[in-house]
Structure formats: C-alpha cells, structure tokens
Structure 1
C-alpha cells in the first residue's frame, strides 16, 4: 500500500555529536535529534558509568528506547506491577504512558549508557509538567 507523503515535510539529517546538549528532567544528558510533524521526536540519552537518574513518569508522552552502548538497568512500575530489566547494547524497552521509571548505568559499564529514544507525540519543549517526580528503588546521583 502506497502512502501519500506529508506535504511540507523536509528531509533532515542530524549527527548526534552535533546536536545540542540539554539535561532531561530525570537528570540524564540528552541530545535532541529530530521531530516529525507533531507525530514523534528522537533523542539520544547518555548516562555516565555508575550514575543513577531521578525516578519520573510522563504525563502525555510514550517512549521507545533502544540501547546502543554501555550497560545498566531500568526499573518500571505501572498498574500494580513493577520490574527491573537489564539494559545493554541491542536491548529495546517501552515506557508506556504514566509508567514510573528510573534507570542507572552499571559502574563497570565500558562507557556511558547510550540510548536512542523515540517519543510520541514529540517531547513538549519547555514543559515543566511533563515529567512528574516519582519514588524509585535507587538513590539518584545526578544533579
């Protein structure tokens, strides 16, 4: 089935190393990459070996993560269930709407834990209410 192209959508190419560096509400370093017509956005998250983010949940967005380097753990809690899963290169995880989550990089990780994330709809720039504080299992180490 052929789909009609979206009018006005320009092709964009971005190198992660050239993207601006910002801090995510959970304390991870983020390089926002691309956004597409209100449908989704993409970013790269990095967390230094031994670092632990703050636990948060999202008010309006869902995310799909794919780990490209490093190792660590993610904790997720939703609707009375919770789990801790291993993060390593090649692992993909979902963060459904309203899920409390926290992640950490292993102290012996061979470098930063690096995650490519797709956020749907796009992350709301300038929002102070999208990431809601939660109680997670680990003590955060990020500022």
Structure 2
C-alpha cells in the first residue's frame, strides 16, 4: 500500500470536456478527485459520462446544475455546502450565476479514464 498526497495547483491542469477548469487532486484505484471551476457568467457545455459517476460539493460561488436521466430531470441551485450526485449516463450542465468563480470539488468513481469519457448532449442553456 502507498499513500497518495497531491497539492492543488494554482493554475488549471486541464480543461474538462464541458469547458470547466480542472485542478487534479488525489486519486486511488477506486476513485479520483478534482476541483472544477467556472468563471463568473460562464456556462458549461452539456455532457454525459459513459462509465463514471460523480459526487460534487460546492466550495465557493453560486449557480445552477441541470441533470437529466431518462424521464427524471431537475435543476438545482448551487451554493457553498450543497452536494449532489451525477449518475452514470446522466446528462448535466452547470452555470455560474454569481460574480465570483464557482468552485466545486468532485469525486469520480471509478477514476476518470480520459477525455473520451464525456460526450456532448443537448442542454438547457
């Protein structure tokens, strides 16, 4: 067994398929963690994931998250302390409605396999 420690980068490591800035955090064989950031006024591309599910926690900022899976669909307000799950195959899109960056920490299970994991879908914004 080995311990994993990673310092969050000041600048984004990569842009996610949805257009959000990603700072890669610690990962293990069963899951990975990242911080997603949308600047003020930004709207992500609507995407769905082929094989991973995610759990998010809003750290800073305000906005909205739209999720749709089959006939279930909802839009929720995002604010610090709100957590939510994105099931495998769910369509989702998020936006920053505030005047500061919208920062969310997310855990991906299993770990993020690569940029081909997400595919664009029709969103609401």
Both structures adopt the same fold (TM-score exceeding 0.5): yes
Pick from 68, 79, 101 the counterpart of residue 70 of structure 2: 79
- Report SS of the residue matched to 2:9: helix
Pick from 51, 67, 72 the counterpart of residue 60 of structure 1: 51
Counterparts of 1:19 and 1:122, CA distance in 2: 21
Pick from 107, 111, 119 the counterpart of residue 122 of structure 1: 111
Q: CA deviation at 1:17?
A: 3.0
User: Match of 1:28?
Assistant: 20
User: Match of 2:42?
Assistant: 51
Distance 1:65 1:75, change over 3 A: same
User: Match of 1:133?
Assistant: 120
Q: Cα deviations across residues 81-135 of structure 1 (Å, max 9, x unaligned)?
A: 21110000000010001000000001xx24100000000000003x42x111100
User: Match of 1:98?
Assistant: 89
User: Match of 1:12?
Assistant: 4
Bigger Rg, which one: 1
Distance 1:20 1:72, change over 3 A: closer
Pick from 111, 115, 131 the counterpart of residue 100 of structure 2: 111
Structure 1 stretches lacking a partner, 5+ long = 1-7, 139-143
Contact 1:67–1:88, Cα closer than 8 Å, also in 2: yes
Counterparts of 2:118 and 2:70, CA distance in 1: 18
Q: CA deviation at 1:79?
A: 1.2
Distance 1:20 1:55, change over 3 A: closer
Counterparts of 1:18 and 1:33, CA distance in 2: 12
Q: Cα deviations across residues 9-48 of structure 1 (Å, max 9, x unaligned)?
A: x2222221357520000000001111112x0000000000
